[in-house]
Amino acid sequence: SHILKKDQDSTKAWKGKTEQLLKIDEHDFTMRPAFGGPPIPVGVNGQVESLDRISEVDMDFTMTLYLRHYWKDERLSFPSTNNESRTFDSRLVKMIWVPDVFFVHSKSSFIHATTTDNIMLRVFPDGNVLYSMRVTVTAKCNMDFSRFPLDSQTCSLELESYAYTDEDLMLYWKNGNASLKTDDKISLSQFLIQKFHTTSRLAFYSSTGWYNRLYINFTLRRHIFFFLLQTYFPAILMVMLSWVSFWIDRRAVPARVSLGITTVLTMSTIITGVNASMPRVSYIKAVDIYLWVSFVFVFLSVLEYAAVNYLTTVQERKERKLREK
């Protein structure tokens, strides 16, 4: 009976708290590893969970990704017999040093916090750390609409350390070109995502120096089918309808005029409809060219009938004068 009293509590076998397992109180974690020495290399890799939306009007995109950092901090090494890593809670993040990566040109972002902060910290016995988080970020993307809707947009998400320059922290893609993975089911309704690829560069700030910057680039090609159905086909049909007027007897004045003017009205409605969901850019878009040229055709068919009507009236007056003589 005495033996069956309590199951062994393995945390008690360590005879200490995490702080004592990892000896956190003995070091000052406000200083980066190897402070004062060579820059610490921090590897980054990521998995894109989804591209939530692309907004033309705001010229931005929203992406959710798992962002993982890898570095070595010897102050966190601990003795271990089996060389297995230990997984810790997000509360440990506040007590140790972690890289301060931020997203350049981001408008808003947050780390998901349901049911608890979506953060993982895994420490290996030799001091290697894996720090992973789930982040949703909305970032700016300059879009060029001169070939809209037959356009391709290239956007990129940029990662950089906020405080540490090139001499303190070296940010790099951990697996080179294979650092960025995507879920199989990433898809957008309006775009085809052509490829994700990673690059890195240095960025210079005149006040603070050179920083490593990592880029996640992707290209989006717009599906034209929706615009064919919504804009191009109705415009083509309206132009064809305006040609019907040429086959109707020229004496049917009300008929030809109402046909012409109603097709002009419908073209005008189609043009307004396209521009409702677009930013007000200062150059002409591909779809504008098509719609305005179609509008000119429809407009000219109205003018054509005005000319026919006028010349017929003139002809009729001449004939009447001849008959009276």
Site string for another protein, 163-182 (x = CB under 8 A): ------------------x-
Q: Which of 10, 177, 206, 282 binds another protein (CB under 8 A)?
A: 10
CB of 106 to another protein, least distance (A): 16
Instruction: Work out how close the CB of 319 gets to another protein at its nearest, in angstroms, rounded to a whole number.
Output: 6
Sole binder of another protein in the list 273, 279, 300, 303 (CB under 8 A): 273
39: DSSP letter: P
Cis-peptide into 33, omega within 30 deg:
no
Q: Which of 263, 285, 288, 305 binds another protein (CB under 8 A)?
A: 263
Stretch 109-128 residues interacting with another protein (CB under 8 A): 112, 114-122
Stretch that binds another protein, among 10-18, 25-33, 98-106, 285-293 (CB under 8 A): 10-18
Nearer to another protein, 118 or 219 (CB): 118
Q: Which is nearer to another protein, 253 or 303 (CB)?
A: 253
Q: Measured in whole angstroms, how far is the alpha carbon of residue 141 from the centre of its chain? A: 7
CA distance 153 to 194: 10
Say whether residue 7 binds another protein (CB under 8 A).
yes
Q: How far is it, in rounded angstroms, from Cα 236 to Cα 129?
A: 62
- Which residues inside 44-103 make contact with another protein, applying CB under 8 A? 45, 47, 49-50, 52-53, 64, 66, 68, 86-92
- Closest by alpha carbon to 260, among 216, 217, 205, 300? 300
Minimum distance from residue 154 beta carbon to another protein (Å): 20
Number of residues that bind another protein (CB under 8 A): 85
The residues, ordered by sequence, that sit 6+ positions from 37 with a Cβ below 8 Å of its Cβ are none
- With b for 16 or more beta-carbon neighbours within 10 A and e for fewer, the 147-182 pattern comes to ebbebebebbbbbbbeebbbebbbbebeeeeebbeb
Q: Is 134 helix (H, G, I), strand (E, B) or coil?
A: strand
**Which single residue is written with the structure tokens 């750390």?**
129
From residue 204 to residue 243, the character string flagging contacts with another protein as x (rule: CB under 8 A) and all else as - is -------------------xxxxx-xx--xx--x---x--
In order of 52, 105, 122, 216, 316, the CA distances from 11 in angstroms are 42, 45, 17, 41, 109
CB 45 within 8 A of CB 68: yes
Candidate residues 79, 254, 321, 322; the one interacting with another protein per rule CB under 8 A: 254
Q: How far is the CB of 247 from another protein (least distance, A)?
A: 4
9 is a site residue for another protein (CB under 8 A)? yes
- Round to the nearest angstrom and report the end-to-end CA distance of the chain: 138
Residue ranges in 278-317 that form contacts with another protein under rule CB under 8 A: 312-313, 315-316
